[in-house]
Amino acid sequence: MKHDHVWQSKNFFWMEPVEILRKTGLKKGDVFLDIGCGTGRFAIPAAQIVGKTGKVYAIDRSRDALKMLERELSKLKDVNFSLIETDVTSGLPIGDGEVDFAFMSNVFHDIVAEGKTQKLLKELARVTREKGIIVIIEFKNRKGPFGPPLSMRLSPEKVGELLETWGFEKEDYLDVGEYHYLLTFGK
């Protein structure tokens, strides 16, 4: 279901992306997977945090968004990244257990609405290493000036239920602004 993404250019979190990534545990040397990366709101700071000893996989369906992200990442020194244009539910060209930190911001509700939840979670379970981290940022289940319709918004409990069926354990809940929450899961 299509909905307004005009909010993407605005600062709608009370925490900056670097602060969010550090607070949730991303560190130098990690392999970071950004699902639905767009133009890099989180992929760029992640690349700076993980440095040349880490790696960023940035995945999106939009070729235009990935081209913009590639231009920005190529300006950074000593970053290791791979841009992948694909629908994440059709399989990821990433090795088993390769990812330390899988991340989605305002993406999971679309995957659930498309009925592709199990395909995505199966892939996340495959590519995330033991003791890896999954971070999901989603819209709070209340009316706001942007984002998906209320019928598509997921409660933190619903997100937890879905991930727990694949063996991910909820570790933390963080309020990241008036319109968003963040959940952290361990594998």
CATH number, residue 181: 3.40.50.150
The residues, any chain, with a CB within 8 Å of residue 27's CB and separated by 6 or more, are 49, 50
> How confident is the model over 128-142, as pLDDT tens digits?
999 999 999 999 998
pLDDT for residue 145: 81
72 falls within a domain: yes
Residue 41 corresponds to which tokens in the numbers above?
A: 């709101």
Under 8 Å between Cβ of 168 and 187: yes
Under 8 Å between Cβ of 124 and 102: yes
73 falls within a domain: yes
58 falls within a domain: yes
> Pairing between strand 81-85 and 55-60?
parallel
158 falls within a domain: yes
- As a whole number, mean pLDDT of residues 63-91 equals 91
What global pTM score does this model have? 0.91
Q: How many domains does the chain have?
A: 1
Under 8 Å between Cβ of 114 and 141: no
143 falls within a domain: yes
Note down the domain range covering 130.
6-186
Under 8 Å between Cβ of 50 and 28: yes
> How confident is the model over 26-64, as pLDDT tens digits?
999 999 999 999 999 999 999 999 999 999 999 999 999
C-alpha to C-alpha distance for 115 and 111, rounded to whole angstroms: 6
